[in-house]
Amino acid sequence: MVEITLLHSQLVKERQRITDELADIKRARGENDQREGNPFGKREEDATEIFEFEKKLAIESQVSNNLAMIEHALKKYDAGTYGLCDNCGKPIEPARLEALPCASLCLSCKAKQKKNV
Ligand SMILES: [Zn+2]
């Protein structure tokens, strides 16, 4: 049996960690934006900087996604629907929740979703 309160405290901790991480990323990006405002940067450096910038953007969107998933799971916890699949309403497999406390779909719905994309 999965300890839902334990998963909940994991989610709260994870949300704090990710919020901090996102703030760090945004701060780092703010510094980058300022440098990009300089039109006299060397060309060969630009390519690396753009690559770094895009890499940061990709990480940022991934981190924001994670945060959204966690907040969604916490909302479900408050609503008393935590651990139930968003799609079919059946309980999500306990092992899946333990591995991924912010999971909002059961395995079979997740598999279907992947096929549709
Ligand atoms: Zn489902």
Q: b vs e for 77-97, b when ≥16 Cβ sit within 10 Å of the residue's Cβ?
A: beeeebbbbeeeeeebbeebb
Is this model's pTM higher than 0.75 or not? yes
Dist. CA 19 → ligand 1 center (Å): 28
Residues whose Cβ atom is located within 5 A of ion ligand 1: 85, 87-88, 106, 109
pLDDT per position as a tens digit, 30-79: 776 665 555 555 566 788 888 988 998 899 999 999 999 999 999 999 99
Dist. CA 113 → ligand 1 center (Å): 10
For residue 41, the surrounding DSSP H or E stretch is none
Enumerate the domain spans of the chain.
Answer: 4-82
Dist. CA 62 → ligand 1 center (Å): 23
